[in-house]
Amino acid sequence: GAGVSQTPSNKVTEKGKYVELRCDPISGHTALYWYRQSLGQGPEFLIYFQGTGAADDSGLPNDRFFAVRPEGSVSTLKIQRTERGDSAVYLCASTLAGLPTDTQYFGPGTRLTVL
Amino acid sequence: AQSVTQLGSHVSVSEGALVLLRCNYSSSVPPYLFWYVQYPNQGLQLLLKYTSAATLVKGINGFEAEFKKSETSFHLTKPSAHMRDAAEYFCAVSDPNTDKLIFGTGTRLQVFP
């Protein structure tokens, strides 16, 4: 596609529910990143995929958060037993090769609200 | 460990005035530095990046930044502000081991007519 897309754009859920957030990277990009942006803050790293494997998941806050990228393209971020503190904008980015000098192209984000 | 600090969460300028947004970095290795802009209800867009070539980097929309190792700074400037420059600006450093970006807290630029 022309850019990184994320669905849904907005998600409202109740405390304790399960949610899935989807990211479609730019076609051909091997590296995919998830970030979380809370109100008034910069994006914070969650997890990084190189191909199908998670190369770095050190940013996942706890075991309620999980992400997959089974075919090396689309990725899904999964959050179990959501808490109000999970409310944030979840951003996805992709790069061609995952090099530190690569430009990360960001999607518009998914705004998650946990009531 | 890498980190960036953005001084000033809000900056206000008049249209046509100089824009200066400050970013200082901390890095144990030569850093790769980025400036991103976030317009309301839009995703982050790269303005420019420093990858150890020229220390003065020119980006889109008339912005530029200068890498100063002695001052550990990478400030963003634009000679003449436009109303359309009103947005949130983020400085970031790339982790050389995992390629993730480490962002500052952002600076909101307001431009007054």
**What residues of chain B lie within 8 A of the CB of A90, using their CB?**
none
Cβ–Cβ gap B104/A55 under 8 Å = no
Q: Running DSSP on this structure, what letter comes out for residue B7?
A: S
Write out pLDDT tens, residues B81-95. Answer: 999 999 999 999 998
Question: How far is it, in rounded angstroms, from Cα B73 to Cα A96?
Answer: 28
Rounded to an integer, the average pLDDT of A24-39 is 95
Question: For residue B52, what are the contacts with CB-CB under 8 A and spacing of at least 6?
Answer: B30, B32
Q: B80-83, long-range: CB within 8 Å, 24+ apart, which pairs?
A: B80/B16, B80/B17, B80/B18, B81/B13, B81/B14, B81/B15, B81/B16, B81/B17, B81/B18, B81/B19, B81/B109, B81/B111, B82/B15, B82/B111, B83/B15, B83/B111, B83/B113
Cβ–Cβ gap A91/B46 under 8 Å = no
Cβ–Cβ gap A31/B45 under 8 Å = no
Residue A11, pLDDT score: 98
- Report strand pairing: B87-94 vs B101-103: antiparallel
Give the percent of chain B with pLDDT over 90. 81
**What residues of chain B lie within 8 A of the CB of A42, using their CB?**
90, 92, 103-106
**pLDDT band at residue B1, thresholds of 50, 70 and 90?**
confident
Q: Mean pLDDT for chain B?
A: 93
Number of helices (H) and strands (E) in chain A: give both, helices first.
0, 11
Residue A64, pLDDT score: 97
Q: Report yes or no: A42 and B103 within 8 Å, Cβ to Cβ.
A: yes
Closest residue on chain B to A40 (Cα)? B105
Q: Report yes or no: A82 and A17 within 8 Å, Cβ to Cβ.
A: yes
Residue B27, pLDDT score: 85
Residue A101, pLDDT score: 86
Q: Which comes out higher in pLDDT, residue B85 or B43?
A: B85
Is A1 a residue whose pLDDT tops 70?
no
Closest residue to A100, CB basis, from B9, B32, B44: B32
CA-nearest of A93, A13, A4 to A46 is A93
Local structure of A85: helix, strand or coil: helix
DSSP string computed for B54-102: -SEEE-GGG-EEEEEGGGTEEEEEESS--GGG-EEEEEEEE-TTT--EE
Rounded to an integer, the average pLDDT of A97-102 is 85
Please state which of the ranges A32-36, A56-60, B2-6, B29-33 shows the lowest mean pLDDT.
B29-33
Chain A to chain B Cβ contacts (< 8 Å): 65
Cβ–Cβ gap A33/B101 under 8 Å = yes
Q: Report yes or no: A15 and A84 within 8 Å, Cβ to Cβ.
A: yes
Residue A100, pLDDT score: 84
**What residues of chain B lie within 8 A of the CB of A104, using their CB?**
46, 101
Is B33 a residue whose pLDDT tops 80?
yes
Question: How far is it, in rounded angstroms, from Cα B78 to Cα B86?
Answer: 12
Write out pLDDT tens, residues B59-83. Answer: 999 999 999 999 999 999 999 999 9
Is A31 a residue whose pLDDT tops 60?
yes
Residue B29, pLDDT score: 81
